[in-house]
Chains A and B, each alone.
Chain A
């Protein structure tokens, strides 16, 4: 084809659109890593009790000595705060932030819908419904006579029950939308319908059926990192690992799905299989996170957009950036939530919305 004016363009100009973004990816990742570490450090230092950096450092060192068998000396209070409260809490927070972010990024790509996040597959609603139902049932059965049962439910079983509820709701959405194949539009619409139903049922149970003492479940419903510890972290880690193993296999397919089902299929992609696998990974990551902290909605939505605006439409690049953004958003939100009302706390779900939404709107206003 003879379009010589363009062929004559120097090579540097031709690649101009590529090279800077490639360089920027490394820079963005490094910057975000730095910010996440900084936020983590701040989470260790600040709180109801202010710890000096040296106390935190000694607590970290001392406790690891303790773990190695040397008797701990010195500062048991700092060690307790750092090792039993702040460190597991910040690790859980960073991890659920990453989970929500990856789930949001995948869901927006697979659904080809910029409004998609873990709410869209019915995950949040399913988890909430299951949690509320389990809570109310146990309360009915046990009455006030068996506080042990209630405590066991809130601490040990709520994450698992909510996780199961999220998975079942997502499976129902997928099944309902199936009509000789799935389509993103039907998935989104079925997701909204199922979520609406489950949310109504959960509210109904909470308002009508449950008796007293709804604080536990209300705290969970508003999304909270309060009291999250090492057991929660170990509950999350297998799903994180599963995501890390599966994602590299699925990224190319997710890129192609963004071109539409027909183009993706004629490029040789097994569209349904690829979409199912991507949804499965997103649902597992989101539901496991919702189980731990409750339905924190905005993280996945916002972070997916931020990642796309910063590094462009390729999913590999987005998936390098979005977990860091998610972790950062949750860590900063949790820190603020713990600081503004000392000694009380604002739930993380409230803070991510208060903090994330204005930032998000500003970003959109600048961009569009």
Chain B
């Protein structure tokens, strides 16, 4: 992918609109208080407190089954907490009117499904639902937002194509375009790069970075690749068996000790990133090379 820029967006309805997050940069506006999550008797997240920062990329990492998806669903108001609350602008997300919440918060689950034959443009138009009145057709602003979402996700020219005819990376970008058409300030993604090849993984991550940089979009996503998480995320949130282990900038969080404790791997941290500065994904993030598992096979 060539250089990444959203700067030609001056003709779009988004430009110049202040994002709520930017005005209150220091205030944690999405926060988790005494949160307990689970189903019936099975408690998945026993007790969690956590603040998210506006206009930042948060990467949620942790081993399989540690409760990442459950937490993300709770952040999006899809699961009611057993105790405690998820507050967005001081109000519990599951007490927001759904439509109004949808104008602030978009979420892309891990395996979204679309009816057969749905085209890219038809899908992205659904993103205007929270802005539409009951019988009103899409207005000029809706169409502009849909066009913008399709363009920045690199899908211009693909509007009429059915999702099933797209490659995995293109399809994932179409789903992100749906979220962007929603015009939300906060985007939650559950492992958006899973099942994509490395090139398409970087494409998705660079797109999210660009949206964060140019639009002030807040991103909270679960990622499996720890090096990618460290490179992309302003903050890493580490979970293990439903507990918050640590949250902070990658340089503080990603240590050989943590990799051993949480992921059960022996790894060597390389302090200066091996990637040349100026590249899209480069940051002052630590980079590590995994050496071996700490739980070797016993045959």
Contacts and interface: CB of A to CB of B under 8 A. Distances in A.
Interface of A: 1-3, 5-7, 9, 13-18, 109, 112, 248-249, 252, 255-256, 258-260, 262-263, 265-270, 308, 312-314
B121 A266 contact: no
Nearest to B210: A1
A263 B129 contact: no
Nearest to A313: B115
Interface residues of B, number: 54
A265 B98 contact: yes
Contact of B156 (A6, A248, A256): A6
Interface string B98-120: 11111101111100111111110
27 contacts: A2-B3, A6-B156, A9-B157, A14-B159, A14-B160, A15-B160, A16-B160, A112-B115, A249-B134, A256-B126, A256-B129, A258-B118, A259-B123, A260-B109, A263-B112, A266-B77, A266-B105, A267-B102, A267-B130, A268-B98, A268-B101, A268-B103, A268-B129, A268-B130, A269-B129, A312-B119, A312-B122
Contacts of B1: 2
B113 A260 contact: yes
Interface stretch (B56-64, B146-154, B228-236, B252-260): B146-154
B4 interface: yes
Nearest to A257: B115
A258 B156 contact: no
Interface in B1-52: 1-6
A18 B1 CA distance: 28
Contact of A112 (B100, B101, B113): B113
Contacts, number: 119
A268 B105 CA distance: 10
B182 interface: yes
A17 B134 CA distance: 27
A9 B121 CA distance: 16
A256 B178 CA distance: 12
Contacts of B4: 1-2
> 6 closest pairs, A vs B, by CB?
A17-B160, A268-B102, A6-B157, A268-B130, A268-B99, A3-B154
A308 B162 CA distance: 14
Contacts of B78: 262, 265-266
Nearest to A266: B107
B8 to A, nearest CB: 8
Given A268-B102, A268-B129, A1 B159 contact: no
Contacts of A248: 135
Given A248-B135, A266-B107, A313-B118, A1 B158 contact: no
Nearest to A109: B115
Mostly, the B contact residues are loop
Contact of A259 (B3, B73, B126, B161): B126
Task: Give the most central of A3, A5, A112: most B CB within 10 Å.
Answer: A3
Nearest to B111: A260
A18 B158 CA distance: 11
Task: Give the most central of A248, A259, A266, A314: most B CB within 10 Å.
Answer: A266
B250 interface: no
Given A266-B102, A268-B101, A268-B129, A308 B153 contact: no
A114 to B, nearest CB: 9
B106 A314 contact: no
B212 to A, nearest CB: 14
A73 to B, nearest CB: 50
Nearest to B203: A1
Given A1-B210, A270-B98, A7 B3 contact: no
